């Protein structure tokens, strides 16, 4: 039976702002993946918000939102978006979380890429994660999708059944 992954939450730790070395350094120590039951927390957001350097980085973020859409490829084409539907985007800023509820088949591995829609200069990759079939039954997993070029940091929480 094919495994399925359900994207439960996307939490924006920092939306794309361009390069800010101090903020990038504060965020660089974040773990790339966490099994939430091992942290003893109910959400990645509550865990990360407890780290003082991260709180400061979030507070320094600009107010321009990312126009978020998600693909399973790395082309960055809004026409290939799997969420939201209808070639649309969702405005997201630091500290906001979304619950897309996307369910995808996973045969060995599945890429998830987050993009910022930009009609003027091309869409910007905000970060990607890879979901593995071998994660089936591990419970909720949170992985960091980041772009050092865009200085964006998002946690994607999912489970594989």
pLDDT tens per residue across span 19-42: 455 555 666 667 677 777 777 777
- Average pLDDT, whole number, for the chain? 85
In this structure, is residue 19 part of a structural domain? yes
Q: How far apart are CA 48 and CA 135, in angstroms?
A: 22
In this structure, is residue 73 part of a structural domain? no
Per-residue pLDDT averaged across 137-155, rounded? 93
In this structure, is residue 63 part of a structural domain? yes
110, containing H or E segment: strand 109-116
What is the reported pLDDT for 22? 55
Per-residue pLDDT averaged across 94-103, rounded? 94
Is it the case that residue 145 has pLDDT exceeding 90? Answer: yes
Domain count across the chain: 1
What is the reported pLDDT for 16? 87
pLDDT tens digits for range 51-96 = 666 655 555 555 678 999 999 988 889 999 999 998 899 999 999 9
Q: Is the dihedral of CA 159, 128, 68, 59 positive or negative?
A: positive
What is the reported pLDDT for 27? 63
What is the reported pLDDT for 19? 46
In this structure, is residue 117 part of a structural domain? no
What is the reported pLDDT for 56? 59
Residue 132 structural domain: 3-67+94-107+127-160
Q: Does this model's pTM top 0.85? A: no
In this structure, is residue 18 part of a structural domain? yes
What is the reported pLDDT for 112? 97
In this structure, is residue 39 part of a structural domain? yes
Is it the case that residue 139 has pLDDT exceeding 90? Answer: yes
In this structure, is residue 83 part of a structural domain? no
Per-residue pLDDT averaged across 101-125, rounded? 91
In this structure, is residue 75 part of a structural domain? no
Burial state string for 91-109 with b = 16 or more CB within 10 A and e = fewer than 16: ebebbbbbebebebebeee
46 vs 76, more confident: 76
């Amino acid at each position: 039976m094919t495994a399925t992954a359900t994207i439960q939450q996307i939490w924006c730790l920092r939306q794309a702002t361009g390069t800010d070395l101090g903020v990038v350094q504060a965020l660089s120590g974040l773990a790339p993946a966490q099994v939430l039951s091992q942290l003893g927390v109910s959400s990645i957001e509550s865990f990360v918000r407890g780290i003082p350097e991260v709180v400061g980085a979030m507070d320094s973020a600009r107010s321009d939102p990312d126009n978020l859409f998600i693909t399973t490829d790395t082309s960055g084409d809004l026409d290939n978006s799997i969420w939201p539907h209808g070639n649309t985007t969702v405005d997201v800023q630091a500290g906001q979380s979304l619950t897309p509820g996307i369910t995808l088949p996973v045969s060995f591995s599945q890429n998830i890429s987050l993009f910022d829609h930009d009609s003027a200069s091309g869409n910007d990759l905000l970060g990607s994660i890879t979901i593995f079939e071998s994660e089936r039954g591990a419970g909720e997993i949170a992985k960091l999708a980041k772009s050092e070029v865009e200085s964006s940091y998002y946690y994607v929480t999912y489970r594989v059944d």
